[in-house]
Each structure stands twice: as structure tokens, then as C-alpha cells.
Amino acid sequence: MPELPDVEGFRQVLSEHTGEPIRAVRVRDPGVLRGVGAGRLAAALRGHRFERPRRHGKWLIAPAGGPVLMLHFGMTGSLSWHSRQEPWHRHDRVVWQFDDGELRYRDMRKLQGIRLADDEAQAGRVLGGLGPDAREVSYACFGRLLSGRRGRLKPALIDQAFLAGLGNLLADEICWHAGVNPLRAAGDLDEAERAALYRAMRRVLRVSIKARCVPARDTWLTGARDERGGPCPRCGALLSRRRVAGRTTVWCPGCQPLLRPS
């Protein structure tokens, strides 16, 4: 699941429980801890309170009165609030318990995980290699980034060091909305195409954040991409699919013509 919109939803869940003292940290599967043990994680957070959490790309960053909790949700992670009576799910890996309930980090595959930075400076170092957040980047910056990129558009959009927050679904959805082929050379796009991409990115992100995920609407590519041999929701043409940057990439050959192959 988690791309930028999903993580933004997890940030909202956490933000509803700031200011409450953390009574206990239960590590049910230390396999999701990165660079910190269960003991140190619990000791550093117990008695502390989460402050206003923020997000950069797909990272959720939660300062807790000194130490900074950093969560990445990989491909299947989530963060949700539960009553203490509700039985744990088998994939609940770490649980933060409060007086009136608990936050649960759930993750089936354990492709990413949880870090603990000692302070903001250390947290900043973890995020140091990321590009600007896709929700925050200005059009001027976005345009400069694309102009200076040598490879194809699709790999650029999902490269977190280039732009942080977009994943496979979002990148395809944005290209489809913009009418730009994901195989185009990023640096060859003209001003109108860059503008269309930026506007599509803003719109797709706004709607997806409201839905808390990239919605599988029948008027969006995401609602059609899983059906192999399915039609483009806009023009009815047979959707194309190909592996690009290691990920299945779907586009409409009619709406997103490949004029200048790269």
C-alpha cells in the first residue's frame, strides 16, 4: 500500500495521539527494528510523548521529546489506533500503549521498518539522501529536476533521491493524467508537458490523500491497471504494460503517445 498518501494518513493517525504519555512499547517482532534493539527503543520512549509528527516522502517522522521515531512502511505496512481489548493481529510487529488505547505498526512483509534517531540532527542524516517531497516541491524546482535528468521519466519519478513520495502506482497514474508517456526521456519534456505533469501530480496527490490511498476509481488508471488486457478508462484503447525500473508500468498508447523514444 504505502506511498505518500498512505503515509500521510498514518501521520494523521499519529497526530491524533500526541501529548499522551507512552506507557509501554511492545516489540512483538524485532525483525522490523533497524539499528535499535527492543530494549533501547522501549527505554527511550517510555514516559515520553509524541510531538507533532511530520512526513517526508514515504517516511513518517515522530519526535518524542528528544529521540525521534522514524517509520517506513515498505510495501505492506500500516499504523492504526486500537483499543487495548482488541486482539493483536498476527502482523502487528510493534505496539505503543497509551492510557486509552494503542498505536500498532502492522506489516506483513518486513521490507522496511522502524528506526530511532537520538535527535533531530541524526534524523536529518537518515533523510539526507532524499529529494524534495512530492507534495511540497515547487513547480520551478520540479521543472529544474526534470530538465536535469538524463534517463526516462518513470525511473526518475519513483527515484526517492530525485523526488520523495511517489511509488509505482502514483507515477503511472500521474503520467496517465498528464498524457505523458513514462518512457519519454525526462530531460526532453517541453514546458507544457512539465506543467501538465506537475498539475497532474498535485491533483492525483490531493485526491489520493483525501482517500488515504491511490483510489482504484474506474475513471483512473489505477482502477484499470490490474485487469490484464483491459481498456484505458479515458479512450478505451488497450493499455500497454512493460517492466520499467524493475516495476510493472502501465500506460495508454493512445493518450500517452511515445513520440520521442528514449
Partner DNA sequence: AGTATTGTTGATAG
Partner DNA sequence: GCTATCAACAATAC
Residues labelled as active-site residues: 2-3, 58, 247
- Give SS3 for 191: helix
How many residues bind DNA (CB under 7 A)? The answer is 36
Shorter beta-carbon distance to DNA: residue 26 or 46: 26
Residue 38 buriedness (CB in 10 A; 0-12 / 13-18 / 19+): middle
Least distance in Å: CB of 42 to DNA? 21
Rounded-to-integer distance, Cα 167 and Cα 175, Å: 12
229 binds DNA (CB under 7 A): no
Residues between 110 and 149 that touch DNA (CB under 7 A):
110-112, 149
Which DSSP category does 25 fall into? E
Shorter beta-carbon distance to DNA: residue 130 or 195: 130
Out of 64, 158, 189, 239, the only residue in the binding site for DNA (CB under 7 A) is 158
Out of 6, 8, 92, 102, the only residue in the binding site for DNA (CB under 7 A) is 6
Rounded-to-integer distance, Cα 58 and Cα 7, Å: 6
The answer to whether residues 230 and 208 touch, using CB atoms and an 8 Å cutoff, is: no
Rounded-to-integer distance, Cα 237 and Cα 167, Å: 24
Out of 13, 42, 75, 211, the only residue in the binding site for DNA (CB under 7 A) is 75
Strand partners, 250: 241
Residue written as grid cell 521519466? 153
Single-letter code of the amino acid located at 38: A
Shorter beta-carbon distance to DNA: residue 17 or 154: 154
Rounded-to-integer distance, Cα 258 and Cα 249, Å: 14
Stretch that binds DNA, among 39-47, 48-56, 160-168, 229-237 (CB under 7 A): 160-168
169 binds DNA (CB under 7 A): yes
Shorter beta-carbon distance to DNA: residue 22 or 134: 134
Task: With CA atoms as reference, report the closest residue to 79 among 94, 64, 68.
Answer: 94
244 binds DNA (CB under 7 A): yes
- Give SS3 for 120: helix
212 binds DNA (CB under 7 A): no
Out of 18, 26, 42, 74, the only residue in the binding site for DNA (CB under 7 A) is 74
Q: Residue numbers of the site for DNA (CB under 7 A)?
A: 1-3, 6, 31, 57-58, 72, 74-75, 90-91, 108-112, 149-152, 155-156, 158, 160, 167-169, 213-214, 243-248
